[in-house]
Amino acid sequence: MSEDLPQLYLVSPPQIELSSFPGLLARVLDTTEVACVRLDLATRDEDTIARAADACREVTHARDIALVITDHVLMVERLGLDGVHFTDGARHIRKTRKDLGQDTIVGAFCATSRHDGMTAGEVGADYVSFGPVGTSNLGDGTQAEPELFAWWSEMIEVPVVAEGGLTADLIRELSPITDFLSIGEEIWGADDPAAVLARLAAARV
């Protein structure tokens, strides 16, 4: 993979079946190179999340791929995860960085807000994600335009992630101006998620 291409950031489905998803995740990761996986479950049940995290961690760490979790910062150390992704911008980043140290991945979803993104970067975020970039239920649905990524990539050093409703056409457009492409909902409903991810990855230019 060319170092100039954006890396892939894989997001889990909101619900997973523990008897089958770890095997599916393994096939996806063995088909296409992925930099990071995010466990992003809809449930708030800690036991369900912990069992899912344990199963996914076995798959990702066997492949030397980082596993982060959405919002559940107190579970990061307990479950041996690599970091946390906050869905509410910069609010918790400073404290989390202090509590978990510099080696923990801390990311922030900032919707379409340059200000929130810059604030997140200033207080210690490892990356900032904007979105959705296409048709998606992410955030309030207001789309992050390519101009935002172009400006960020030119002006800000903190890595930027594009997520929400990615298509092959959007990937081609955003590849030169983003560091990561966050893909999840785009593949999990397909009969062969590994094949769909491979096709999307091939659209990077």
Confidence of residue 134 (pLDDT cuts 50, 70, 90): very high
Alpha carbon distance 186, 201 (integer Å) = 12
Q: What is the DSSP string of 8-43?
A: EEEE--SS--TTTHHHHHHHHHHHS--SEEEE--S-
Q: Given a cut of 70, is residue 151 above it in pLDDT?
A: yes
Whether 1 is in a domain gets the answer: no
- pLDDT for 104: 97
- pLDDT-derived band at 4 (thresholds 50, 70, 90) equals confident
Give pLDDT tens digits for 162-192. Answer: 999 999 999 999 999 999 999 999 999 999 9
Backbone angles phi, psi at 5, to 5 degrees: -80, 145
Whole-model pTM: value is 0.96
The whole-number average pLDDT for the span 53-61 is 98
Give a yes or no: residue 129 inside a domain. Answer: yes
Q: What's 91's domain CATH number?
A: 3.20.20.70
Average of per-residue pLDDT across 89-109? 96
Average pLDDT for the chain: 96
**Alpha carbons 90 and 38: distance in angstroms, whole number:** 18
Q: Which domain holds residue 105?
A: 7-202
- Tell me whether residue 164 is in a domain: yes
What one-letter code names the amino acid at 160?
A: V
pLDDT at 118 over 90: yes
Q: Are strands 83-86 and 66-70 parallel, antiparallel or unpaired?
A: parallel
Three-class SS state of 36: strand
Domain count, the chain: 1
> How far, in Å, CA of 8 to CA of 200, rounded?
10
Question: Which pLDDT band, with edges at 50, 70 and 90, does 3 fall under?
Answer: low
**Sign of the dihedral defined by the CA atoms of residues 104, 38, 205, 119, in that order:** negative
